[in-house]
Amino acid sequence: MSDTVTRFAPSPTGFLHIGGARTALFSWLLAKSQGGKFLLRIEDTDRERSTQEAIDAILEAMTWLGLDHDGEVYYQSQRADRHNEVIDQLVESGHAYWCNCSKEDVDAMRDKARAAGRKPKYDGRCRERGLGPDCGGVVRFKTPLAGAVSYTDMVKGPSAVNVEELDDLILRRSDGGPTYNLAVVVDDHDMGVTQVLRGDDHVNNTFRQIPIYEAMGWQVPSFGHVPMILGPDKKKLSKRHGALSVMEYEKMGYLPEAVLNYLVRLGWSHGDQEVFTREELTRLFTTDTLSSSPSVFDLQKLEWMSGQYMQGADVNRLTAEVTKIIEFEVGRDEAEKLNLKILPKAIPLLQPRAKHLVDLAEQSRLFLVDVAFLMYDETAVKKFLTPEARALLEEIAPQLEAIEEWTEASIEACLRSFIDEKELKFKVLAQPVRVAVTGTTQSPGLFETMAVLGREQTMTRMRRVVEDFGL
RNA sequence: GUCCCCAUCGUCUAGCUGGCCCAGGACGCCGGCCUCUCACGCCGGUAGCGGGGGUUCAAAUCCCCCUGGGGACGCCA
């Protein structure tokens, strides 16, 4: 067990989207790859916007992805006393001060600075005024007046910014509550976090947080900032821009490990390898090969990845998932009438053909329904169930019926000997039989499909076609 | 406006200590093979170092400028 501690710290103002999930994944992998701990902290200090629904949604998504955290979930809002304690210490040690400038005053300062072509910032006029708690204002941090703040980013490398770019950020609001930047520093320190991996949009915060660590005499953790995920138009992925909740991907039928694998390749690489098991990932992950440039989310590649995982997935699991989907779609009562028992035999035939679970459920349909509910594709019927074809079906039906043991091999033997006798091409028979049995021109192998479907259902379907599809 | 970051096929990326790269893999797309259809699989093809200057015998790789994109500048996180 190393002393590596990482964390994921979402603010519960909405669902966990794909970008957040990836950040969480990288942090999780960083911890796991070093035998360390991965902590979860909910940053709910904004009471206005934080909701229990969002917290639940985030937790649910983390669970679905299998990104388990060590220990209890931390709630930032529950640590306000500790935050305030640190703020008081900072004031006492002269690293922070009270300020009662009005919002309007500060806005004016910023506007002025902006107009003068400088970076908008508070000018620190209350720094040496020696105000106390009775001033009714806020507490600000005394940002160093000269020099630069620098650190080595785990993904971007050496980074530095001149302190002139920073201003005296607020530590405690006028309502007495601690602000984000202060709370994060205190929490990360108290939780023993050694490596902070977060989104690119936090780089500026890093430069503001490091001086706080230093003022407290605390060890500064390592920081790494991963680039954003972009939409197809190369704009930042937002809720408007297809930044879906990770749970939406579950609804669409994607396996969590496929989503995870897709996500990890979005910004991280291990040579040319595309598919990784979770074990490989925890063994191979390094921040060294995290990309420093933003990447575009590509649903097509996710689909491909998903297909890879569908092929290798356990049949029992797929059976359970497909059953769930069908029960959800048609209702439990209706689902009971379906021949769900056939699923474990049917699914292996469908696996190489399905992109995801919903797809698999859809394709399972032809095995589940009774002939009366089987949908026949109109153009397929027109094209292949011609009078000649139906005559063939009618002729072969008794022969199929007479097969002693209904197996893939015996079905194939029966059909092949039939066409040999007729001196026909196998294709001439295959498509009509396929359409008769499955309703469409696309299906798994004919013999295996018929074998799984069973003699009775197969024959019923063939007879129906002969009788009902007369022109 | 100011500061920071980024820049290889349409997309994800390998390339990081310069020569093995007239740039490799994957998705997609196109063609073929397999074949009872569709998939899977296999084979082949398409397509890229944003632009301009340097440094060097040699640059996708190092430096500078430009351009383009992104992010940040809150008593939000």
**pLDDT at position A242, please?**
63
Dmax (CA) of chain A = 106
Which nucleotides of strand B lie within 7 A of protein CB?
A: 1-8, 10-16, 24-28, 36-41, 69-77
Cβ-count burial A203-240 (b if 16+ within 10 Å, e if not): eebbbbbbbbbebbeeebbbbbbbbbbbeeeeeebeee
Rounded to two decimals, the ipTM of the complex is 0.94
Give nearest nucleotide to A237 (CA–C1').
B70
- Nucleic strand B near CB of residue A201 (< 7 Å): yes
Cα gap A162→A311, rounded to integer Å? 54
Residue nearest to nucleotide B2 (CA to C1'): A119
A26 CB neighbours strand B below 7 A: no
CA distance A446 to A411: 9
pLDDT at A239: 65
The two tokens of residue A335 are 């689902």
Q: How far apart are CA A172 and CA A132, in angstroms?
A: 13
pTM for the predicted model, two decimal places: 0.93
The 10s digit of each residue's pLDDT in A22-41 is: 999 999 999 999 999 999 99
Does the active-site annotation cover A345? no
**Do residues A224 and A153 make contact, with C-beta atoms less than 8 angstroms apart?**
yes
Of A387, A423, A381, A418, the closest CA to residue A401 belongs to A418
Read off φ and ψ for residue A15, nearest 5 degrees: -70, 170
Query: Cα(A199)–Cα(A212) distance, rounded to whole angstroms?
Result: 20
Asked if A181 CB < 7 A from strand B, the reply is yes
With CA of A307 and C1' of each nucleotide, the nearest comes out as B40
Q: Is the CB of A190 under 7 A from strand B?
A: no
In degrees rounded to 5, what are phi and psi of residue A205?
Answer: -65, -35
CA distance A34 to A358: 37
> In A445-467, which positions are buried (b, 16+ CB within 10 angstroms) versus exposed (e)?
ebbbbbbbbeeebbbbbbbebbe
Instruction: Enumerate residue ranges in chain A where pLDDT < 70.
Output: 1, 238-242, 469-471
> CA at A55, C1' at B52: how many angstroms apart?
51
Rounded distance between C-alpha atoms, residue A318 and residue A324, angstroms: 10
Distance of CA A23 to the CA centre of its chain: 10
